[in-house]
Structure 1
């Protein structure tokens, strides 16, 4: 019995080049379809540009590292939330756990998906170490800048 007659006897039809072509085309069609789906999902959820000019950002990188080291050495901590009136609040303490009072606190509120306009806000001290400002309802990412005692400290957090 020959090889072809054995294959025909067990399956009824021989495996041909057309069968292999259909398998290959089907495989690559599925891979391409999944890639297209993933690419469209990724591009529809990306909110914007990370940096305007990557070359300029690379030239400033070492300066940013020095600023980050100086900020970390301060040991300041900040917590973000909403109060009962719906205002965004930032609580600030120094490395000893003491409230940071009489600071100038500003923030830029960004919608995480970039669907609402960016808003600059100034937070006012409501009690020592606690700063608040009105902010539209929803989820926001706050880029907070604190200026106190001749020092500058920055942090980023979310307010729901």
Structure 2
């Protein structure tokens, strides 16, 4: 015996499909908000007023900055005119781009060619959020993408 599909069967099918879609969307939205690290600046308008001036000063330093991660060794190279330098590090945060759960504050030491620190790294993409001061007081800040080799 073949059962006939009635109107309420179709309605129940559509209702269940939309309920699943809504549940998945709510789950994704909740997880996105829960893992968001937070604001970059408190007031973007105020920060924008000095952005161009600060950017020009930072670019005027002419620093070439790179970071690499080998195992648990983080190497930060800051070159000024091809010469390695060790500016005053105001803050450095090493962590994932999408979550603050694994954020670490590396303690850098300068060995003459690079700043080095031991961190708890792993495979994948990492960020080093760096704030440093040049000898003349110019603020240098940059988010450096650090990829751990597979």
Question: Could you say which residue in structure 2 is the equivalent of 1:38?
Answer: 28
Report whether the alignment pairs 1:18 with 2:13.
no
Larger Rg: 1
CA contact (8 A) 1:141 1:157 kept: yes
Alignment TM-score, normalising by the size of structure 2: 0.67
Number of equivalent positions? 140
Alignment of 1:1-160 (within 5 A): 13=4, 16-44=6-34, 46-51=35-40, 53=42, 56-82=43-69, 86-94=72-80, 96=81, 98-101=82-85, 103-112=87-96, 113-116=99-102, 118-119=104-105, 121=107, 123-128=108-113, 130-132=114-116, 134-138=117-121, 141-150=127-136, 151-159=138-146, 160=148
RMSD: 3.2
**Distance in 2 of aligned mates of 1:52 and 1:148:** 22
Runs (4+) of structure 1 exceeding 4 A deviation are: none
**Distance in 1 of aligned mates of 2:140 and 2:28:** 38
Structure with the largest fraction of helix: 1
Q: Deviations over 1:75-127 (max 9, x none)?
A: 3211112468x443211123x5x114353334322432222465263x33311
Structure 2 gaps, min length 5: none
Larger RCO (CA under 8 A, 6+ residues apart): 2
Structure 2 counterpart SS, 1:119:
coil
Alignment TM-score, normalising by the size of structure 1: 0.64
